[in-house]
Amino acid sequence: MPNDKKQRIDAANRIPSPKAKELFRDIRRMQEIAKNDLLASSGLTVSTLTRVLDELVSIGVITESGLGASTGGRRPILYRVNGGYGYAFGLDISRVSSRLVLLDLAGNKTDAKEWRMTEETTPEALLKQVAAQAGEWMDKHHIAWDRIIGMGVGAVGPLNREDGIIEDPEWFAAPGWNHVPIVRMLEERLGFPVLLDNGANTALIAESWANRTKNFRHMLYVHAGTGLRLGMMTDNKLIHGAVDMEGSFGQMIIQADGHPYRTPQGNYGALDSYASVYAIEREVNSKLRIGRGSVLRQWLPPGEPAKYEDIMQALNRMDPMVTEIVTQAAAYFGIGLANLLNILNPEKVILGGPLMTESNLFFYTATQTAIRKTYHYPKYQVIFSRGTYGDEAIAIGAALMMLNQLTV
């Protein structure tokens, strides 16, 4: 990192006026907006609007971008966010891979990097790589330290957002991921503000940003991978429970006398035991052990278990056994999803994670099952999507979470 660090600047203090923050929030929602439209939507007088816009221009967070089309009088001035004013890093800490992205103030991706999470990727090892990469990008893109607004982190839970601690996550390949004061560790290395939330929430922030002009009030994000992770949003505000609830969806009981959970802390018959990467691997290897035929037998050395990557290759070859198991897992996922829809009634559900992004079969089976089992269908209909940002959603949302602090 640069050696000329100054006293850190909190994002919330960069725009001091409450009116300016509110107006900047409105401008951020649009690629470009005319002064006349801001006058109509803000409820401000012409003189107050002009004064607040001048304040935002003088700070540097917005810029005049030209003149709009005339509606009979003088052509209106257009405004847009000045992307070069500042930058935010977004870090995704997940079990299989972690990512770092760099966004400008307008939400445009400037750079990205991915790391595989191996048995050597302890917190110290990962954060050393993250800090080095952040410094390299600042040099590469000629970004001064005071133009860094901060870093957002979307991590596997459970976690303590207020204290900035990753608490007791399961299934990391490397040791040391319990009770990690990730915010303090990053701030000491980087010297600028860091915010923490669970990865499902930051992914939902990203997808809400992608849909910001469509006025969805109630949205869900569900991540289907090594485990199942959930985020909820109402009126563009994340819903945080009394404790971090990211993994609660996976603990939904769908068969009370069903499979035991993979650790002693979980529920018997939990959805995670039927509709996760772990569940699919378990079922495939169980069938292989009892002699079921599969193309996997031609690929794997004797006695070696099939991994998720092998199973997806077999699915792409339309292997009958693998297709049957993935279809069944997706149907179970759809049942769990229907339970969520019946309780929460969201307008849009974004489905992310490797099971969704890498398998059309899983996505379509799960969503069709959920639709068939949703109460009040077809009167109540929900929009399903695999999202805009794919595997980068968690990291991009983490950076946007930090950029959002300008208007807090």
Q: Is 1 a member of any domain?
A: no
Q: Is 364 a member of any domain?
A: yes
Q: What secondary structure does DSSP assign to 323-335, as a single string?
A: HHHHHHHHHHHHH
Same domain for 278 and 333?
yes
Same domain for 107 and 239?
no
Q: Is the pTM of this model over 0.95?
A: no
Same domain for 178 and 254?
no
Q: What is the pLDDT along the chain (408 residues), one digit of tens a residue?
A: 544 444 567 888 899 899 999 999 999 988 889 998 999 888 899 999 999 999 999 999 999 988 877 776 788 889 999 999 999 999 999 998 999 999 999 999 999 999 999 999 999 999 999 999 999 999 999 999 999 999 999 999 899 999 999 998 988 999 999 999 999 999 999 999 999 999 999 999 999 999 988 888 899 999 999 889 999 999 889 998 777 766 789 999 999 999 999 888 889 999 999 999 999 999 999 999 999 999 999 999 988 999 999 999 999 999 999 999 999 999 999 999 999 999 999 999 999 999 998 989 999 999 999 999 998 878 888 999 999 999 999 999 999 999 999 999
C-alpha to C-alpha distance for 233 and 235, rounded to whole angstroms: 7
Query: On the CB side of 373, how many CA atoms lie within 13 Å of its CA?
Result: 18
Q: Is 241 a member of any domain?
A: yes
Amino acid type, 118: T
The predicted pLDDT at position 7 comes to 53
Same domain for 28 and 66?
yes
Q: Tokens representing 60?
A: 């540097």
Total domains in the fold of the chain: 3
Give the structural domain span for 402.
Answer: 86-204+393-407
Q: Is 166 a member of any domain?
A: yes
Same domain for 325 and 349?
yes
Helix axes 182-190, 123-140, angle to 10 degrees: 40
Q: The domain that contains 177 carries what CATH number?
A: 3.30.420.40
Helix (H, G, I), strand (E, B) or coil at 171: coil
C-alpha to C-alpha distance for 24 and 122, rounded to whole angstroms: 39
